[in-house]
Amino acid sequence: HTIGLATADLALHAPSQIAAAIKSRAGEKHFNVVISMTGQSGAAAARAAINNLLAQRVDGLIVNIPLQDEDAQSLMTLCQEVPVLFLDVSPQLDANSVIFDAGEGARLGVAHLLELGHREIALLAGPQSSVSARLRFDGWQQTLAQQQLRPVAVMEGDWSALSGYQQVARLLNEGARPGAILVANDQMALGALRAISEAGLRVPNDISVIGYDDTADSACFIPPLTTIRQDFRSLGKNSVERLVEMIYQPDAPTRSDRLPVSLVVRKTTA
Ligand code: IPT
């Protein structure tokens, strides 16, 4: 039996760790995994990746590419009888999915900063073409609004460390001095740490930083990163088990499973 994994850019840390976790759980269940990766965002690239896997006659598909509801719907039609499980879609979508709770992750990050007494908070969001980036951003804004707070600055990167570096370097060059920055992933947080250090400022004494993902390297950043943990091994395990169920019980009802996230406090917040 073969599972097809259609994935976002594997040069990014989170998708590569998710792919590794899927591969490892599939191996235990004696399933092969074939991978089709897209470097671009958008439905056309996702469609090409999925067509490529269908041509290899996979028994089921896991799709870890950010998709709008209507794009995910039309891709399900494309797959016909082959079961599809989505990992990066909105929780409202009527489809089989296993997704992390983005609202909860956003709330945990803001709550941690508020407890430390921060009020001047800047946001560094992921690319707004990504569903998860938008859900995290909306969650930050809503949680701040509940305290009658608004972000002191809003930035957007492309998930890469370099984009985080550039965005935060520009903010600091303009003279802004937020007390804390909420960052939508750990790679951009790594770039943010470099920009803050080059501006002659200290983390966390001058500026606190919170990441998102808790990818394997984040505990080794300087200083070790406070972040929102998404347990990618658990996502890999859950998604393979769900897909195998779907392959053997094609008539089971459609379900969206939510995986919890948690705050990991290290040394970048005070
Ligand atoms: C999401 C990561 O949090 C982010 O860092 C980036 O790598 C993105 O994937 C790439 O699409 S995790 C996803 C399962 C929501």
Q: If you measure from the C-alpha of residue 15 to the centroid of ligand 1, how many angstroms do you get, rounded to a whole number?
A: 6
Q: If you measure from the C-alpha of residue 230 to the centroid of ligand 1, how many angstroms do you get, rounded to a whole number?
A: 10
- pLDDT at 39 (0 to 100): 85
- pLDDT at 88 (0 to 100): 97
For ligand 1, say whether the CB of 14 is within 6 Å of any of its atoms: yes
Tokens representing 73?
């719907």
Give the three-state DSSP class for 14: helix
Chain length of the chain = 270
Ligand 1 atom with the smallest distance to the CA of 65 is 11
Ligand 1 atom with the smallest distance to the CA of 213 is 3
Ligand 1 atom with the smallest distance to the CA of 102 is 15
Question: Could you report the predicted ipTM of this complex, rounded to two decimals?
Answer: 0.99
- pLDDT at 259 (0 to 100): 98
Helix, strand, coil share of the chain (percent; to 5):
45, 20, 35
Q: If you measure from the C-alpha of residue 251 to the centroid of ligand 1, how many angstroms do you get, rounded to a whole number?
A: 30
Give the three-state DSSP class for 208: strand
- pLDDT at 42 (0 to 100): 86
Those residues of the chain that have pLDDT short of 70 are none
- pLDDT at 33 (0 to 100): 98
Q: For all residues of the chain together, what is the average pLDDT?
A: 97
| Cα–Cα distance for residue pair 148/163, rounded to 1 Å | 29
Q: If you measure from the C-alpha of residue 49 to the centroid of ligand 1, how many angstroms do you get, rounded to a whole number?
A: 18
| Residue 155: CA count within 13 A, CB half-sphere | 27
Q: If you measure from the C-alpha of residue 212 to the centroid of ligand 1, how many angstroms do you get, rounded to a whole number?
A: 9
For ligand 1, say whether the CB of 71 is within 6 Å of any of its atoms: no
- pLDDT at 125 (0 to 100): 98
- pLDDT at 235 (0 to 100): 98
- pLDDT at 78 (0 to 100): 94
